[in-house]
Structure 1
Amino acid sequence: MPLDIGVLLPTSTPDPTRPILGDVRASARFAEEAGLDSVWSTDHLVASGPMLDSTVVLAAASAVTERITVGFNVMLLSLRPVAWAAKQVSSLQHVSGNRLVLGIGTGNPAHGDVAWRATGLSYADRGRRTDEALRVLPDLVAGNRTVLDDGVEVALAPGAAMPPVVIAGNGRAALRRAAAYGDGWASIALPPEDIAAGLAEIARLAGDRPPATATVVGPEVDPDPARTAERLASYEAAGATRVILAPTSPDWHRDYEFAAKVRAAYP
């Protein structure tokens, strides 16, 4: 299959002086009509700039599209009770027609720890909480009776197909987590040779688990779509199956048009 080329929905503002808060419905429709493969929502409770709720964003994007993949880039499981996260995931699978990809991360330190303090949770404990959630999440999403870490037994209804899980992060802990729980691994702006090395390490750690795929978020691009397509081909050669192009300005329409030209130029 050709490399999946996706874009971030205009729902967050890494730089508060350059707001990127646009029309979710219009941007999702445009991405699908332009032939792009996936749209993604960032996730946080209290970030360094404005950010919409990811589950609401993906529900809106799902409602106005039919084909395109919708995904978390990435859900912060450690900020949620795992049963509630599973309910959100299974509901999104239902409303999207099983088009969801579940990116999972532990949080960019640039956003600080205020979101965890606001929810009464430990920032330092977020890695352990993420692992514990990933252990039980598939059964919870599927609607199977599941015993949580505190001994509570629960079955959610309706159940849904568990979406592919993509573990995000460039560090050792993320590689270990991807090997243990992921169908894929997402990295930020790593060069192709590091993608190949990361996939090899995940395969070594994973043992008999199926091999992981790689998603590259924010790869370096060229102003020329054809040259960008050539660069992205090197990621596919390294084992990547998806790239998510980063926004360059508040003008999501211009960024999506560029991504569509890259999609059309891709070999």
Structure 2
Amino acid sequence: MILEIGVILPSSTPYPDQPISNEIGASARFAEEVGLDSVWSTDHLVASAPMLDSTVVLATAAAVTERITIGFGVLLPALRQPAWAAKQVSTLQLLSGGRVVLGVGTGNPAHGDIGWRAAGVSFKDRGTRTDEALRVLPGLIGGLPTVLADGTEVTLTPGSAMPPVLVAGDGDRALRRAAEFGDGWVSLGLPATEVATRLTRLAELAADHGRPVPRATVVAPALDADPKRAAAQLAAYADAGTERVILPPTRAGWRRDYEFAAALKAAS
């Protein structure tokens, strides 16, 4: 299997002394020019680091590119009303020419619950709300009559093709969610051997729903700084059944990061 290689847009900064870049468009264009497969934006209302709105970031990236996949890495639908989330995703899918991948998660507890409280949403209900969003999003995005949790039936037009859904999380509940709703599964930094173990479990869970096994995406795998040695490490991920890796931002800056990703892709 040939791995797809993606990168995270500079929509946040893990380093307090480095401000968020205003070069979303430039970075997306550069990623496409050097042959990378996808660009991604993270999503939190309030996080441990400053962060831009993922939908606006991805719309900016879509507007200045033609080929590259545009991914939510990952969207937190539980923070939003499902109909609004669907409208945004559907619009982005239409305007990008069908290049969206919809990563979905329940949020990292390390960021705390302030963002959830600010949104008027119970942090403890985020799993249930995520499941409900995954239930209704395909119909809402597709422009089909859809019954919401409160019994309201709504049709959002114009609809669009439903993007592939990648469900994030390494725990059993997340794997069950991926098996039931996901076209793919997202892991944060798991070693290749553990990815293989999780995929075996996913195959069992997906069979219970009569669904194919979700394909694996690994975010921030631990890789050597040398592209050739890192390519050998990626081969182990491919052998384990991984479809895609997404490289994290580093202090070197997005241009250096994307050049490394392109070198890694060329060496793979």
Q: Same fold (TM over 0.5)?
A: yes
Q: Is the 8 A contact 1:93 1:163 kept in 2?
A: yes
Counterparts of 1:4-19 in structure 2, within 5 Å, are: 4-19=4-19
Q: 1:25-53: per-residue Cα shift (whole Å, max 9, x none)?
A: 00000000000000000001111121110
Counterpart residue number, 2:260: 258
Distance in 1, matches of 2:101 and 2:16, equals 28
Counterpart residue number, 2:202: 202
**Aligned match for 1:230, one of 226, 229, 232:** 232
User: Helix, strand or coil: the match of 1:205?
Assistant: helix
Distance in 2, matches of 1:22 and 1:204, equals 44
Return 5+ residue gaps in structure 1 as ranges.
none
Q: Structure 1 residue 100: deviation in Å?
A: 0.3
Residue 27 (structure 2) pairs with residue 24 (structure 1) = no
Distance in 1, matches of 2:113 and 2:13, equals 18
Q: Structure 1 residue 14: deviation in Å?
A: 3.0
Distance in 1, matches of 2:127 and 2:252, equals 32
Distance in 2, matches of 1:15 and 1:30, equals 22
Residue 167 (structure 2) pairs with residue 149 (structure 1) = no
Distance in 1, matches of 2:70 and 2:193, equals 28
User: Helix, strand or coil: the match of 2:250?
Assistant: coil
Counterparts of 1:158-173 in structure 2, within 5 Å, are: 158-173=158-173
Which letter maps to 2:67?
Answer: R
Q: Is the 8 A contact 2:15 2:251 kept in 1?
A: no
Counterpart residue number, 1:75: 75
Q: 1:48-82: per-residue Cα shift (whole Å, max 9, x none)?
A: 12111000000000000000001000000100000
RMSD over aligned CA atoms reads: 1.0
Q: How many residues align?
A: 266
Q: 1:161-203: per-residue Cα shift (whole Å, max 9, x none)?
A: 0000000111111101000100000001100111111111111
Q: Structure 1 residue 20: deviation in Å?
A: 4.3
User: Helix, strand or coil: the match of 1:103?
Assistant: strand
Distance in 2, matches of 1:48 and 1:236, equals 32
Q: 1:131-182: per-residue Cα shift (whole Å, max 9, x none)?
A: 0110111011000001101011100000000000000111111101000100
Counterpart residue number, 2:251: 249
Distance in 1, matches of 2:255 and 2:19, equals 14
Runs of 4+ aligned structure 1 residues displaced above 3 Å come to: 17-20
Q: Is the 8 A contact 2:24 2:61 kept in 1?
A: yes
Which letter maps to 1:161?
Answer: A
TM-score (norm: length of structure 2): 0.97
TM-score (norm: length of structure 1): 0.97
Distance in 2, matches of 1:80 and 1:63, equals 24
Q: Structure 1 residue 250: deviation in Å?
A: 5.5
Q: Quote the sequence identity (%).
A: 65
Residue 191 (structure 2) pairs with residue 191 (structure 1) = yes
Counterpart residue number, 1:112: 112
Which letter maps to 1:221?
Answer: L
Counterpart residue number, 1:35: 35
Counterparts of 1:94-113 in structure 2, within 5 Å, are: 94-113=94-113
User: Helix, strand or coil: the match of 1:135?
Assistant: helix
User: Helix, strand or coil: the match of 1:143?
Assistant: coil
Return 5+ residue gaps in structure 2 as ranges.
none
